[in-house]
Amino acid sequence: MISIVVPFFNEKKSIRELHERIVGVMKKYGEPFEIIFVDDGSTDGTFDEIRSLSPVRGFRFRQNAGQTAAFGCGITNARGDIVVTMDGDLENHPEDIPSLLEKLKEGYDVVAGWRQNRWQSQLFTRRLPSVLANKIISRVTGVRLNDHGCNLRAYRRDVFGDVPFHGEMHRMLAAYLGMRGAKIGEVAVSYSARKFGTSKYGLSRIFRVLLDVVSLHFFREYATRPMHFFGYVGFVLIGLGASTFFGALYLRIFEGVHFSRTPLPILIAVFVVVGFQFILMGLLGEIIVRSRSGSASRNYDIRDTIEIP
């Protein structure tokens, strides 16, 4: 079965057209499918519109939890062995889904869309920042994609494992999975400007994504062994403190410079104290990791669920 997961936040006007197009495409494709629509705390009657559709599985959050949480909810509850994700604003084309599925059959674990002819008239405010962000993400993660921000993707269900759905993680989900050994493919897909409403994203999103890139790298390297990071930094700082101490001792013995006439005592104290603080943070991190080991958490509350065949 193929599960189509789409999050919505105040996208009532787009829902019916998107649903009709998905149903048409998937019936033509000829494989069993389910459609999962997640209402991310909308206030415009989005869930009422979802109730009027068939077939559909719907989830409604009590309050807005963000697109990452909405995707996480849909993926977690998907029944298919293949999961397709896409945006709900009609910028992604359901007609491109078969291309992703066929590429997936070539042995890929994830196939990401690469949006074409996007932001042609917004070179400096949209296109260049997007290109820069994609290059940074590719460099940091080692996963080479032209469009890390495209949510039109196809995944094998078993590739997710214990993926953390937080922050802007949905933007970097393909990269994260690639970092964990998944085989990533990419196909060109169509792009259309939204028909209804206004974009929920501005330039500030780029900075949020870049911050999540940093946290993604940290999560990959040190999530289960925080002491390796904090302990390393702590010992480096303590080492600097020790070096400063011996430097101060040298000045006192051979140069006759009294400690009180230099900032060295303060530097020694700062390096050593902060170094021990980092080591203690590493120990606390180890305790937290072990206490949470095996436990699952989510950052959303489901208010309603529906399933209409």
User: Phi/psi zone of residue 179: left (φ > 0), alpha (ψ -120 to 50 degrees), beta?
Assistant: alpha
Which of 192, 199, 187, 198 has its CA nearest to residue 93?
A: 192
Instruction: Check residues 26 and 116 and name the one with the higher pLDDT.
Output: 26
Instruction: Check residues 233 and 165 and name the one with the higher pLDDT.
Output: 233
Secondary structure letter of residue 55 according to DSSP: S
For residues 90 and 194, the answer to whether their CB atoms sit within 8 Å is yes
Task: Tell me the pLDDT tens digit for each residue of 1-10.
Answer: 999 999 999 9
- Segment among 74-88, 94-108, 122-136, 236-250 with least mean pLDDT: 122-136
At 253, the pLDDT band (50, 70, 90 cuts) reads confident
Q: With 80 as the cut, is the pLDDT of residue 251 above it? A: yes
Q: Which fold does the domain 2-222 belong to in CATH?
A: Spore Coat Polysaccharide Biosynthesis Protein SpsA; Chain A (3.90.550)
Distance, in Å, from the CA atom of 284 to the CA atom of 112, rounded to the nearest integer, reads 38
- Segment among 1-5, 19-23, 53-57, 266-270 with least mean pLDDT: 266-270
List, as one string, the DSSP characters of 188-254. EE-----SSS--S--THHHHHHHHHHHHHHHHHHHTT-HHHHHHHHHHHHHHHHHHHHHHHHHIIII
Distance, in Å, from the CA atom of 38 to the CA atom of 45, rounded to the nearest integer, reads 13
Lay out the sheet containing 184-189: strands in order across. 184-189, 110-115, 153-156, 82-85, 2-8, 33-39, 56-61, 302-308
The two structure tokens encoding residue 113 = 């869309």
Distance, in Å, from the CA atom of 168 to the CA atom of 142, rounded to the nearest integer, reads 18
**Mean pLDDT calculated for residue range 23-46:** 97
Whether pTM > 0.85 for this model: the answer is no
Which of 177, 164, 198, 186 has its CA nearest to residue 115?
A: 186
pLDDT more than 90, % of the chain:
54
Instruction: Check residues 8 and 250 and name the one with the higher pLDDT.
Output: 8
What is residue 110's predicted lDDT score, i.e. its pLDDT? 98
For residues 119 and 130, the answer to whether their CB atoms sit within 8 Å is yes
**Mean pLDDT calculated for residue range 220-244:** 83
Q: With 90 as the cut, is the pLDDT of residue 192 above it? A: no
Which of 16, 170, 6 has its CA nearest to residue 86?
A: 6
- State the number of CA atoms in the 13 A half-sphere of 36 facing the CB: 25
